Amino acid sequence: MTEVKRHHKATRHIHKPHHLCKEPDDLKNQMALWLRESLMEGGVREEITLDEDWTPPQDQDPICEGTPDTGTDSSVMQRSLCPWQWRVNYDEAREPKIISEAHCICRRSRGGSVAFCLPIKREVPILRRAACDPVTGRWEYARATIPVTVGCHSVLPRSARATPLSQHYKTPIGAI
């Protein structure tokens, strides 16, 4: 008689699997409240994008070589010195799950300028999925903000480092 070896399955602590977790019923209301509160607190603030923080596109679109189209049927993007494309930013663990984000197409401004194209970013309020409540079976969300590129603008290169305004006046500010 041969002996049959059986593999013992490890017992695991039983948790509610994440795929069974559901969105809270009031998720849209939570998001609306967070958006309203963030606007009352001074609004979403513009993020400063330093030249060193941005990586220009490697391959340029043919639109970058031409001049802006100023025809009556042209769109804002076609008339822009720094055109952009819209891209979808999808994140299942975030509310809103879909955010449209601008992507700068050109390294330099169109029309023979020496200016650079840089992204314009805004801090946008979101809700980030934090954990699944084992009692209710609903996701819990935490408030957060993320930088979102909302457009592109033409910026001249730096010629010198900025200095405080007080260094440009003979009389100290506030002494008058």
Count of Cβ atoms closer than 10 Å to residue 165 Cβ:
8
Residues 6+ apart with CB under 8 A from 94: 126, 127, 128, 129, 146
**How many other CB atoms are found less than 10 A from the CB of residue 51?**
11
> Which of 97, 84, 78, 85 is closest to 141 using CA atoms?
97
In a domain, 88, yes or no: yes
pLDDT at site 66: 83
Query: Domain of 95: which CATH number?
Result: 2.10.90.10
The verdict on residue 66 lying in a domain is: no
Q: Which ranges in 12-70 belong to alpha helices (H)?
A: 27-40
Count of structural domains within the chain = 1
* pLDDT for residue 169: 56
Amino acid 40: pLDDT:
75
150 belongs to a structural domain: yes
Residue-level pLDDT at 174:
59
Q: Tell me, yes or no, whether 31 lies in a domain.
A: yes
- 42 in any annotated domain: yes
Domain of 135? 18-58+78-157
Taking only the tens of pLDDT, the chain with its 176 residues reads 444 444 444 444 444 455 689 988 888 888 888 888 877 776 545 444 444 555 555 677 888 888 888 889 988 888 999 999 999 999 999 999 999 999 999 999 998 778 999 999 999 999 999 999 999 999 999 999 999 999 999 998 887 566 665 665 555 555 55
Would you say residue 28 lies in a domain? yes
68, part of any domain: no
Is residue 110 domain-resident? yes
pTM, full prediction: 0.64
User: For residue 82, which amino acid is it?
Assistant: C
CA distances from 68 to 58, 60, 144, 150 (A): 21, 15, 38, 20
